[in-house]
């Protein structure tokens, strides 16, 4: 390992996460092997294990990183929304349907499908979602807004499972759901 890598552990960690995410998009969760990630990142398996002691820790690190990025995307959208009521839900809708990081051909797609089957990943997602709903309860604690968020999750999962083939026009569905947040 070069001297530069030892002095920049966050750069190596970031590269490991980025390479693992790229493998998830390309090959699915099964394509994320310790050797494949280490090779793609240009580090040894020992170097990977220094940052992530197990493959599960690496995958959980990817999910945590994606959730952090989702937070930033949603928070930025909320700041721009002039209407407080439903702002979290509108930001959530937009992040899922048109977001830069969370669309249908992203690491999020591969990991979200895996969350259905993996209890430890489901717990990470559920904890994130519960905390966000609690954080935004003043603006988004309305049964209709919860229905909208659940509809978004269902539509997103449906499109993801069909590998991008939308059952209906996504832009139209997005508009209808956004409209429901304003009633």
User: In the CATH hierarchy, which fold is given to the domain comprising 1-53?
Assistant: Arc Repressor Mutant, subunit A (1.10.10)
Q: What is the DSSP secondary structure assignment for residue 43, as one 8-state letter?
A: -
Residue 149's pLDDT is what? Answer: 95
Q: What is the dihedral of CA 84, 183, 100, 160, to 10 degrees?
A: 140
Query: Are 60 and 73 contacting, i.e. CB atoms less than 8 angstroms apart?
Result: no
Quick: pLDDT tens for 101-143.
Answer: 555 566 666 677 777 778 888 898 889 989 999 999 999 999 9
In this structure, of 12-26, 71-85, 103-117, the range with the lowest mean pLDDT score is 103-117
Query: Are 65 and 17 contacting, i.e. CB atoms less than 8 angstroms apart?
Result: yes
Instruction: Give the number of other Cβ atoms within 10 Å of residue 42's Cβ.
Output: 14
**Judging by beta carbons within 10 Å of its beta carbon (0-12, 13-18, 19+), is residue 33 exposed, middle or buried?**
middle
Domain boundaries, the chain: 1-53, 56-180
pTM (2 d.p.): 0.81
Q: What is the dihedral of CA 49, 52, 56, 62, to 10 degrees?
A: -140
Residue 166's pLDDT is what? Answer: 57
* pLDDT, mean over the chain: 85
């Amino acid at each position: 390992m070069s001297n530069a890598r030892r002095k920049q552990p966050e750069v190596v960690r970031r590269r490991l996460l980025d390479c693992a995410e790229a493998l998830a998009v390309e090959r699915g969760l099964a394509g994320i092997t310790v050797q494949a990630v280490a090779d793609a990142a240009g580090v040894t398996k020992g170097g990977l294990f220094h940052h992530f002691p197990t493959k599960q820790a690496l995958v959980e690190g990817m999910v945590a990183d994606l959730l952090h990025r989702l937070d930033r995307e949603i928070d930025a959208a909320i700041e721009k929304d002039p209407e407080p009521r439903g702002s979290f839900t509108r930001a959530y809708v937009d992040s899922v349907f048109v977001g830069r990081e969370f669309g249908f051909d992203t690491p999020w797609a591969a990991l979200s499908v895996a969350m259905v089957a993996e209890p430890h990943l489901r717990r990470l997602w559920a904890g994130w979602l519960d905390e966000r709903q609690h954080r935004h309860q003043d603006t988004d604690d309305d049964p209709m807004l919860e229905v909208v968020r659940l509809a978004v999750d269902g539509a997103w999962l449906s499109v993801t499972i069909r590998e991008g083939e939308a059952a209906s026009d996504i832009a139209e569905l997005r508009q209808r759901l956004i409209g429901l947040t304003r009633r």
